[in-house]
Chains A and B, each alone.
Chain A
Amino acid sequence: GAVVSQHPSRVICKSGTSVKIECRSLDFQATTMFWYRQFPKQSLMLMATSNEGSKATYEQGVEKDKFLINHASLTLSTLTVTSAHPEDSSFYICSARGTGNGELFFGEGSRLTVL
């Protein structure tokens, strides 16, 4: 089946630094990718929709200058958490929509810890 890979799976950084998370569709072209944030024991909250070749669409309340999203190709989207602070610590999950029936495929998730 289709595979979406996220990297890194875990990252620890110091407060004030920037962290980049990659989301790749390994065996299909993803016209649209989504970035979610999940706090412990909570649901997935959509942060933004990433479309190849155009600007991402952010959900209400999500700071676009804080969470930079780039979808440079049909197989790669990146989320950069800029000037990270401890409150940005969370589990970030990406998903990619295929070009067939539009089924969504999820990455393994990335756990960010900001010290």
Chain B
Amino acid sequence: AQTVTQSQPEMSVQEAETVTLSCTYDTSESNYYLFWYKQPPSRQMILVIRQEAYKQQNATENRFSVNFQKAAKSFSLKISDSQLGDTAMYFCAFDLIQGAQKLVFGQGTRLTINP
């Protein structure tokens, strides 16, 4: 079974600062996806970024980038030039590419961006 661990329940930074959210996972599989989802107060889940495990290059989406360390099973999210609208719960998630595909979420990190 796959597990995802987020060890930072809460984080808080000033607007325009850079913040890194941590995520580790455990799996015996070699082909999988990793995701970061954002859940703002509206509770709508929003995909922030996705990483395919077979790709060595770290995924980036504008101000969001990941540091994917496959051997260490680590998948951190870096948010650059943070904005007030980035305030939300952030969930790291794991999904197999084939087989029993079902998204497994970490516990979440509540991120607050202060003005």
Contact = CB atoms under 8 A, between A and B. Distances in A.
B101 A102 contact: yes
B91 A104 contact: no
Given A43-B91, A43-B107, A34 B102 contact: yes
Interface residues of B, number: 16
B105 interface: yes
A32 B101 contact: yes
A6 B45 CA distance: 13
Contacts of B44: 106, 108-109
B104 interface: yes
A102 to B, nearest CB: 7
Classify the secondary structure of A's interface with B: strand
Given A42-B107, A42-B108, A43-B107, A106 B102 contact: no
Contacts of B42: 108
A43 B9 CA distance: 11
Interface residues of A, number: 20
B43 A46 contact: no
A28 interface: no
A95 B105 CA distance: 13
Contacts of A97: 101
A84 interface: no
Interface of B: 42-45, 47, 91, 95, 101-108, 110
Q: Lowest 4 CB-CB distances: which A-B pairs, in order? A: A106-B45, A43-B105, A109-B43, A44-B105
